[in-house]
Amino acid sequence: MESPESLNESLIEVYVLTANRILVYRLGHLGDTLVALPSLAAIRKTFPNAHIALLSNYHSPSERVSPEHVIPDGLIDEWLTYESSDAGGKATEMVRLLVRLRIKKFDTLVYLAPRIRSKRDVRRDLGFFRWAGIKQFMGERGFEALPTRGANGLPSVAHETDHLLRRLSLSGIQVADAGNANHARRHNRGHTDQLLKYRRLLRDDRDACKRIQKEQQPQRIPLPRSQRAGTRLHSTKPSRLNGTTSGSRHGV
């Protein structure tokens, strides 16, 4: 009987031969993308010649972060997004996404949904990608339920980065060991610092633009005292005239 290691090697050989267009599905925001960087590196190392696209969701256009500010060069070839909220994507948006994916003709899905994804949501996601014409799936096995709080508090769990790498290993992808994973986390922290620096620069530029705009506004020249008094007289509404209000002229 073959060992699990030999089965994984045979499985990855089949994937390498047949995977030409790979879609990586990763939900979440900036932090979720950062913790998935070691997994993206392992996918690229396994499939160096494949076209790799990253699919992620966003809540509004203002929250979109360009991949060149987060993902190192060479890990992905394309970045796809779709609009969704915490409750999920709208039906019309999902139909448009389905059409886009079918046109792009991806043959392999690497499923990097977060660990908290429910079984029902996982089944729904995989069914959606099957409708998109994708036949091969990786990373969909190995979901672990989060432990509940006990008498001594919450027990420690594996880092989300390690969890994703373990799921990839179950599909036959060679992943980094613990030392390399820690190095990858430090590398990711460096990218995070670069991104925060970039966002601070954007904020400083925005503040500078506001100051310039304020300085370029035409200054209000104060009117002479006599004209200011005339302005106040014209703006004052007469309340009574000869003991009657202005609205009583039509009453007699």
- At 153, the pLDDT band (50, 70, 90 cuts) reads confident
Span of 46-55, 100-109, 174-183 with lowest mean pLDDT = 174-183
Structure tokens at 189: 């922290």
| Per-residue pLDDT tens over the stretch 191-206 | 555 555 555 555 655 5
Task: Give the whole-angstrom CA distance, residue 219 versus residue 48.
Answer: 61
Q: Domain coordinates of the chain in residue numbers?
A: 11-142+158-199
Structure tokens at 193: 């610092």
pLDDT, residue 129, reads 97
Structure tokens at 166: 């373990």
pLDDT over 50 (residue 88): yes
- At 72, the pLDDT band (50, 70, 90 cuts) reads confident
| Per-residue pLDDT tens over the stretch 129-149 | 999 999 999 999 998 877 777
pLDDT over 50 (residue 247): no
- Please state whether the predicted TM-score (pTM) of the whole model is above 0.75: no
User: Domain 11-142+158-199's class?
Assistant: alpha beta
- 90 close to 83: Cβ distance less than 8 angstroms: yes
